[in-house]
Structure 1
Amino acid sequence: MKTSDIRLPAREMTEFCAALLRAAGARPEDAEGVSEHLVSASLAGHDSNGIALLPAWLEQAGRQLVNLDSKEHVLTETGILLRVDADGGWGAPAASRLIERAGAKALEHGLAAATLGHAHDLGRIGAYGEQAAAAGLAALLFVNITGQPPVMAPFHGSDARLGTDPVCIAFPATTHRSSFVLDMATSRISLGRLKIAAARGQDIPPGSLINEHGMPTTDPSGMSEPVRRGALTPMGRHKGYGLALACELLGGVLSGGGTIQPEHPRGGAVRNGMFAILINPAMFGEADWMEHEIEALATYALASPPMDWDSPVLYPGDPERALRGKRLREGVPVSAELVEALNAAAAAKGCTARL
């Protein structure tokens, strides 16, 4: 937290964001879903996917890059299959509805596969993994990114050709262990982390970025918007590159939303496609044995002596849970500049709410 940051209560932030979205033309149910998603991301410490996104999303809605009157329609539905087209509408409410509907199928039949196409920015993908886990389901989520220029180079490539396509894997909690939620970009560092470093004039870890000449650099300033020069590098070299292509195939092709290849328009707003597999663990084995095995595995992994005693081994999802508890108690740190920008947006929209 910077000394210039302001701490705000989560409820106040949620109510303000919802009021601002309604003033911008969002339907009440969409305004509620988007605001809850953004504040939840901020609470979990994913600030670049939190309310910091709202000014850009409002600007995109003003340019009709979000369909405020979207009508989701089902392309295919069977007992275990669901394909939904979001019609360019807000991503977070559409994705949450998809997980809820497909999750009901998985609870009944053991598993379900679902896709969501033509959705505006889904935001933090881990939220949908948490939603599935809270319903007692395991989830595998693959998301592709279109609608804006690429930001990540393929392995052995020297310019941007892909997005930082995220992957999320989640597993429900046991009696003594919180849910497992692995949520990661396929780039070595996320675009959000790079933006924060650029805004603060900080270097990024070596090997995370190449410049416009394809050479390694630690200076993120060249990737500042609106013109980006350079590219992020894939996580795990060929592994992150392969996973990003897999996200394009699964999230882009199966959803019908298309991939990042340049035949599709890049209007300047993120478009996401998602492929989800939801699994009911209760139909795959004896519950007590599963619970013992999960707990024994977690205990074994977390007992590894840390290389740095200030950074112990953690279970995926624990950092977000810890920070969420802290920020619910103490408030969410928000920069004075962001508060000013959001209040200015509210004034411009005729919204009386202020942070």
Structure 2
Amino acid sequence: LKLNLHAQVVRDAGAVLTIEGGKGFGQVIAYEAMERGIERARQLGICAVGLRGAHHIGRIGHWAEQCARAGLVSFHFVNVAGDPLVAPFGGTDRRIGTNPFCAAFPRSGKPPLVLDFATSAVAFGKVRVAYNQGKQVPPGALIDHDGHATLDPAVMMEAPLGSLQPFGGYKGFGLAAMCEIFAGALSGGYTTHADTLGTNHAVINCMLSVILDPAAFDAPNAEAEAQAFVEWLKASPLAAGSENILVPGEPERATRAEREAHGVPVDPATWQQICAAALALGMPAQQLEHWSAAVQ
């Protein structure tokens, strides 16, 4: 991680921008990259942004929402270079990252539609939480170091290490592979292979973002058509056990509202890891004790 850096445009080809992150804070670098892409898309109707070498940029939906707030459609391919966690379809060891895909569609007066997911069956962070809570993961999410299916999250935390599985078999694997190539290769960054494996101890992201201005299309009814489709989906008779039909973005907004109202649940093992990291980085023990006392 390199402190106090900003996104640097290394190539400006009009509707295509190549941006170097230089291992700067991902939250800064990705925000600035999207701002440049938004500005250019407003001028030209479209902009493809190749961001390379940013330190961990976090939740990809945040950057799609940034574009949506500007009234722009976007979709994003991301790779986690040199840090494989996922086995390829038909393989038995780690060869690829959890490589997210994201897309967003803005709606006037309504929250945007936002699709944002890792291409692994479950996100690695959720496996860590299951491990800390002593719980199992869903079937089809993990294999052990011999390639056998398992429900035990310890295979991702304790040697010999296993692997995450791609979601949806060969379909999720195919999307993950294209995320790796689109984000890592087209941006001028790097993909995961023998020469880049374990070259750093950080999460380094590359991202290919395509940002579109809906007004640039001959589609004056685009938003109305999108809304009509959403209403059509929600009018489907509910399946047994289903309470409602949620479109992309709605489950996350519901969870956010719940967390804002009632707090974020943190299991004891995770909290102890947070405390240990804080102490290691110099936080005063008295301050940490005050925070711990506030955790319910």
Question: TM-score with structure 2 length normalisation?
Answer: 0.89
1:272 to 201, 205, 227: 205
1:128 aligns with 2:63: yes
Give the distance between the partners of 1:271 and 1:216, measured in 2 at CA.
29
Give the distance between the partners of 2:21 and 2:259, measured in 1 at CA.
32
Structure number having the greater helix percentage: 1
- Residues 259-307 of structure 1, C-alpha deviations (whole Å, 9 max, x = no match): 01120151332111000000011111344x1222111100111222232
For 1:303, the aligned partner's letter is A
Shift of 1:325: 2.2
How do 1:269-348 and structure 2 match up within 5 A? 269-287=202-220, 289-343=221-275, 345-348=277-280
How do 1:251-262 and structure 2 match up within 5 A? 251-262=183-194
Shift of 1:328: 2.3
Distance 1:88 1:312, change over 3 A: same
For 1:212, the aligned partner's letter is H
Give the distance between the partners of 1:232 and 1:114, measured in 2 at CA.
29
2:136 to 195, 198, 203: 203
Shift of 1:153: 0.9
Question: TM-score with structure 1 length normalisation?
Answer: 0.75
Query: Is this contact kept in 2: 1:132–1:138, CA < 8 A?
Result: yes
**Equivalent residue, structure 2, for 1:159:** 93
Give the distance between the partners of 1:238 and 1:105, measured in 2 at CA.
36
**Equivalent residue, structure 2, for 1:118:** 53
For 1:154, the aligned partner's letter is P
Give the distance between the partners of 1:231 and 1:165, measured in 2 at CA.
14
2:77 to 142, 146, 165: 142
For 1:95, the aligned partner's letter is A
Distance 1:158 1:343, change over 3 A: closer
Query: Is this contact kept in 1: 2:80–2:99, CA < 8 A?
Result: yes
Query: Is this contact kept in 2: 1:74–1:84, CA < 8 A?
Result: yes
Shift of 1:178: 2.2
Query: Is this contact kept in 1: 2:133–2:269, CA < 8 A?
Result: no
**Equivalent residue, structure 2, for 1:170:** 104
**Equivalent residue, structure 2, for 1:235:** 167
Give the distance between the partners of 1:286 and 1:140, measured in 2 at CA.
19
Query: Is this contact kept in 2: 1:119–1:272, CA < 8 A?
Result: yes
- Residues 22-51 of structure 1, C-alpha deviations (whole Å, 9 max, x = no match): xxxxxxxxxxxxxxxxxxxxxxxxxxxxxx
- Residues 142-180 of structure 1, C-alpha deviations (whole Å, 9 max, x = no match): 0001243x11111111211111100001110234x4211
Distance 1:311 1:218, change over 3 A: farther
For 1:297, the aligned partner's letter is F
Query: Is this contact kept in 2: 1:147–1:269, CA < 8 A?
Result: no
Give the distance between the partners of 2:10 and 2:57, measured in 1 at CA.
20
Unaligned residue ranges in structure 2 (runs of 5+):
292-296
1:91 aligns with 2:44: no
- Residues 38-83 of structure 1, C-alpha deviations (whole Å, 9 max, x = no match): xxxxxxxxxxxxxxxxxxxxxxxxxxxx112545422111331211
1:182 to 102, 115, 121: 115
Shift of 1:311: 3.9
What is the root-mean-square deviation in Å for CA atoms of aligned residues? 2.0
Give the distance between the partners of 2:275 and 2:90, measured in 1 at CA.
44
1:224 aligns with 2:166: no
For 1:120, the aligned partner's letter is H
Distance 1:141 1:294, change over 3 A: same
Give the distance between the partners of 1:185 and 1:239, measured in 2 at CA.
13
Helix, strand or coil: the match of 2:41?
Answer: helix
Distance 1:346 1:168, change over 3 A: same
Give the distance between the partners of 2:262 and 2:127, measured in 1 at CA.
26
Give the distance between the partners of 2:115 and 2:5, measured in 1 at CA.
31
Higher relative contact order (CA 8 A, sep 6+): 1
**Equivalent residue, structure 1, for 2:294:** none
Distance 1:312 1:238, change over 3 A: same
**Equivalent residue, structure 1, for 2:38:** 103
Helix, strand or coil: the match of 1:83?
Answer: strand
Q: 200-209 vs 156-165, which deviates more?
A: 200-209
Give the distance between the partners of 1:280 and 1:72, measured in 2 at CA.
23
